[in-house]
Amino acid sequence: MELIVATRNKKKFKEIKAILKGSGLKISFLADYGKTPKIIENGKTFGENAIKKAVKIARFTGKLTLGEDSGLCVDALDGAPGVYSSRFSGKDKSDKRNNLKLLRLLKSLPLSRRKAHYSCAVALADNKGLFGLVEGRCAGLIGFALKGRHGFGYDPLFVIPKYQKTFAQLGEKIKHRMSHRYRALRKAGKIIKKYIEKH
């Protein structure tokens, strides 16, 4: 059975595919389908955005679709950047600009006030509509400098207290065992398994 991941973000797709390895599904990239409907991510929550992606692409392709939305929530910033994580630095956004803006905003804060968590919502839909929505979280701290070369997004700043290293330093092997995306996809995998059994 084929599962379409409703994203054009190559790094995100690669990560989702790696986590779902061994599921027995043929996992496809949205870019493989050429021109697809544009999805405006204007939801107030990660869940709303994930549902929008899954349902719209499932309707368009008629196939099992996974929609995912995720981001970083910083306690000292009242949960920001949140759903605006990927476009935090505005029009000329990039991972580096987003990270530097975050560092500027938290500049004077000690480590004890730099608590944050990554949050991920995964929605599942087919041509009949939505049939699953799950979430995953991973707690950490925002470091004082960009460290590491793995991952993407805020990984070079997101410190895991247990290891005292960022996701970007720890690399995929460790990240994929504990990340917000891993936790959400593990739950989604159980729903997909039941779906396949019924179909």
Report whether 3 contacts 66 (CB < 8 A): yes
Which of these is catalytic: 32, 69, 78, 92? 69
Sort 176 into a burial class: Cβ within 10 Å, 0-12 / 13-18 / 19+.
Answer: middle
Burial 29-66 (b: 16+ CB within 10 A, else e): bbeeeeebeebeeebeebbbbbbbbbbbbbbbbebbbb
What secondary structure does DSSP assign to 85-111, as a single string? GGGTT-TT--HHHHHHHHHHHTTT--G
Task: Look up 92 and say whether it is catalytic.
Answer: no
Give the span between the Cα atoms of 42 and 22, in whole angstroms.
33
Instruction: Report, as residue numbers or ranges, the catalytic residues.
Output: 69
